[in-house]
Amino acid sequence: MSGTKDKVLVTRPLFPDVVDRLREYFEVMVNEGPRYTSEQLHDALSGMKGAIVAGGEKIDDRVLQGHTGLKAICVSAAGFNNVDVAALTRAGIIGTNSPGPADETVADFTWGLMIATARRLVEAAFWVERGEWKATAMASRFFGSNLCDKTLGILGMGRIGQAIARRAVGFRMNVLYNNRRRLDTGLEVECRAAYRTREDVLREADLLVLAMPYSPENHHLIGAAELRLMKPTAMLFNIARGGLIDETALAAALRSGALAGAGLDVFEAEPVIEPGLRDLPNVILTPHTAGATEEAQHGLASMAADNLIAALGFGPDAGRPCGVFNPEVLGK
């Protein structure tokens, strides 16, 4: 390429080979420091033609204000609830996400979280680390629950929900799901999953997984009323977005014995966690790491880079980025 290259911003360090690919087309500015505040992100976008942002960086009118030369914002994550889509569309900016590369990684993590919670692995490991294993172990001290032959409920049956369901066959599980749209028959057979109303899934699940995207419409989808529908022996797992659960109501249910356990990788105000959840022995809390493998993160970064290159009119897919969540902008 010749001539002056457009500038693009990468708000978090990416894999060197991905940055090198971007540099074939653009002058690339990479934030190597702490995460930008909203004000810093607004300033950093000055003079940029496009940007790759992470899943937690808020994009709204204030951040976009005055950046008339900005043409594309590409999220290096499957979720994009950090982006005000209407604001992006008003500004005539293409928005893309990166669906797919982390699906299997997140499904693996979900099963690890379910096993660890049901079998009380973290409690038992800390007990050993604290030097409290001083005599023959009492098996009853860490009685947990089997996963085999139980009912797995999944709310949200997109790619990740389906990947979680497929793994259930090895545990001889009965899989029930609820989704905004019912899957076609072929996918239901492949996943060995049966469609139910949300209320029936809540009532029947021994292990309930939340795997849907967050939206204002499903804010606190699981609250006190929904928790009361669940079995007292049931366990709840969230690997989607924190705002789906009323964390205060969940802490109360776990503390009272109305729910047996929970495993949470996401939180409504992360990194701040509802205080009532922090000291409970029947909950495992992890720092939004379900997709944290090198393979998954490289795939997400690569897809975001491909999207940015295409959105700005370069590469083999010039003008045709995938994962566009405001396609009406493409025609303008």
Q: Is the dihedral of CA 43, 44, 49, 54 positive or negative?
A: negative
Angle at 266 between CA 231 and CA 209, to 5 degrees: 35
- 153's CB contacts (< 8 A; 6+ apart) are 175, 176, 177, 178, 201, 202, 204, 205, 206, 207, 208, 209
Token pair listed for 242:
């924190």
In the numeric block, which tokens belong to residue 59? Answer: 């994009």
Distance CA 162, CA 65 (A): 39
Q: Which amino acid is at 170?
A: G
Mind telling me the catalytic residues? 241, 270, 288
32 class by beta-carbon count within 10 Å (0-12 exposed, 13-18 middle, 19+ buried)? exposed
**What φ, ψ does residue 68 adopt, rounded to 5°?**
-70, -20
Residue 35, token pair as written in the block: 């995460």
Determine contact, residues 55/102, Cβ cutoff 8 Å.
no
Collect all residues with Cβ–Cβ distance below 8 Å to 154 and sequence separation of at least 6. Answer: 161, 164, 165, 175, 176, 177, 178, 193, 201, 208, 209, 211
Q: List helix spans (H) across 213-283.
A: 224-229, 247-256, 275-278
> CA angle at residue 87 from 306 to 220, to 5 degrees?
95
Question: Is residue 210 a contact partner of residue 240, using CB atoms and an 8 Å limit?
Answer: yes
Determine contact, residues 77/300, Cβ cutoff 8 Å.
yes
